[in-house]
Structure 1
Amino acid sequence: MILFGESFIPDTNTFFVLCVVPSDCKKVLDEFPEAKSGQYEIELWTSGKILTVNCDMKTDGGGWTIFHRRMDGSVDFYRNFTEYEKGFGNVDGELWLGLQYIKELAEQGSTEIRLDMARNDSTTGHETCQDFKLTEGNNYKLNIGSCTGLTGKRFAFNNQMSFSTNDRDLDMSSDRNCAVEGHGAWWYNSCTRVNLNGLYVAPGTICEFPGALDDFCGHWHYGFDKLYALRTSSMMIRRK
């Protein structure tokens, strides 16, 4: 993990010095092109908040800051708005970085977002969207441009939607609470085609949960594997 001044490259037993405290994983990679994937300490560019984040330095050229990760169901993602705003989970495992920090990271400049998923048999898929940002204050309205990587029902369906949680219903359905039905939190439209913060159930199965809407309540991406529960998912952003 990077420390101020002297910085350590994971898995190399090597230290280096950054001229500027990095504001994201892209800055780490710009300063040291040989940096490996792992945990780094960053200082957010406007608030000055110090965070330990996971950096992906391998995928599609590297420089990605990971803000969402599901891998085993060890962290409950059915949380209220305050928790989603501030962040929760474990930097070593499942996590949600926090809407306020995701928003600030994306405000540094033109930013792309990437969603990665794996089925129970470990086959993988992804989609990448350009011009990612969150707007309208603490509504954290999703803004994305063109998307590539998957076809059909995917993340673009949620474009221009505010972030909804079980205690803060901002979706487009007048008679439904998509966060409750989906047992998660998301930029719900009416309701969604991606539910990566939904209930983690056995990979490859269909969600069933009392109080939620059967089939819909799980951890899934319809454009990748319809409503079948994913084994893993991650979301990450990179300044261009």
Structure 2
Amino acid sequence: MIVLLCLSAVFPVLMGTEVVNSNCFLATDCSDVYSSDKTSSGVYTVSSIDGPVQIYCDMIPSGENHSKGNWTVILRRMDGEVNFFRPWDSYKQGFGNKEGEHWLGLEFIHLLTRRNRYKLRVDLEDFDGTKAYAVYESFSVDAESDGYKLHVSGFVDGGAGDSLSYHNGMKFSTFDKDQDLSSSNCALIRPGGFWFKDCYKTNPTGPYMWGKDDAKSLYIAANWYYWKNNWNSLKAITMKITRVM
């Protein structure tokens, strides 16, 4: 279902070859979806310059100075069902199951954050059921011509610690497009795609290890180092953004 936002003013809208009067326009992210009175978490279809895009909207209030939930999920790991060791084009366009594990797509993330200001929240859960989060008051991604460079700032601790600021200013890397600062290919030796530096303090797209002890010694699991200052594998990690009004 494509989400439409409806206003009190009336605008002409093209429907095929026919022009009709409408007070609606296409939603672009979960903030728009929420504003259209669709307040249940789930998959919605929104618009972009490249056509319709399916996104997962987390509508649950976060509890950190938010009275509502309107988060657009850009990454979700939860059960290991999706392979995140993928090439550049996959990370550019997005992949996975929007109702489960997925990566939204660098190009769409760039288009969103070019148009409006966004903040980022990262939710973590370990295999003991303990949860924590980190918030970054400013989040944006540059164009592909600039390597989809990450800009993140304004850390607010929700118990997780700050593992992402280390990656600020980095271009995105995959095993077939190495843009990190390491003498090695971080996306190859720490299998995944991310804004690697030399190499990382978090690797949310790393292999899903189901809590195995060897993940800590291999430093390859989906993890967030400054939560408990270890490389233990995570049970769940979600990265989601919301528009800053």
TM superposition score normalised by structure 1: 0.85
Higher strand share: 2
3-state DSSP of counterpart to 1:227? coil
Q: Which deviations, in whole Å up to 9, do the C-alpha atoms of 1:34-59 show, x marking residues without a partner?
A: 61111111112xx1521121101113
Following superposition of structure 1 onto structure 2, how do residues 93-104 of structure 1 map, counting pairs within 5 Å? 93-104=100-111
Partner of 1:183: 191
Answer whether contact 1:111 1:239 (CA < 8 A) is retained. Answer: yes
Q: Percent identity?
A: 30
Answer whether contact 1:204 1:231 (CA < 8 A) is retained. Answer: no
Answer whether contact 1:114 1:236 (CA < 8 A) is retained. Answer: yes
Answer whether contact 2:75 2:104 (CA < 8 A) is retained. Answer: yes
1:18 and 1:228 map into 2 onto residues whose CA distance is: 51
1:52 equivalent in alignment to 2:50: no
State how many pairs are aligned.
Answer: 221
The letter of the residue matching 2:24 is C
2:163 and 2:131 map into 1 onto residues whose CA distance is: 15
The Cα of 1:31 is off from its aligned counterpart by 2.8
1:38 and 1:134 map into 2 onto residues whose CA distance is: 24
Partner of 1:9: none
Structure 1: runs of 5+ lacking an equivalent: 7-16, 209-213
3-state DSSP of counterpart to 1:76? coil
Structure 2: runs of 5+ lacking an equivalent: 6-21, 63-67
The letter of the residue matching 1:59 is P
TM superposition score normalised by structure 2: 0.83
CA distance 1:217–1:5, shift in 2 (3 Å): closer
CA distance 1:18–1:48, shift in 2 (3 Å): farther
3-state DSSP of counterpart to 2:187? helix
Q: Which deviations, in whole Å up to 9, do the C-alpha atoms of 1:143-190 show, x marking residues without a partner?
A: 0121112465511000000001111111011x2111112111110111
3-state DSSP of counterpart to 1:194? coil
The Cα of 1:231 is off from its aligned counterpart by 0.4
Partner of 1:80: 87
Following superposition of structure 1 onto structure 2, how do residues 133-212 of structure 1 map, counting pairs within 5 Å? 133-138=140-145, 139-149=147-157, 150=159, 152-173=161-182, 175-203=183-211, 205-207=213-215
Partner of 1:23: 28
1:23 and 1:111 map into 2 onto residues whose CA distance is: 13
3-state DSSP of counterpart to 1:222? coil
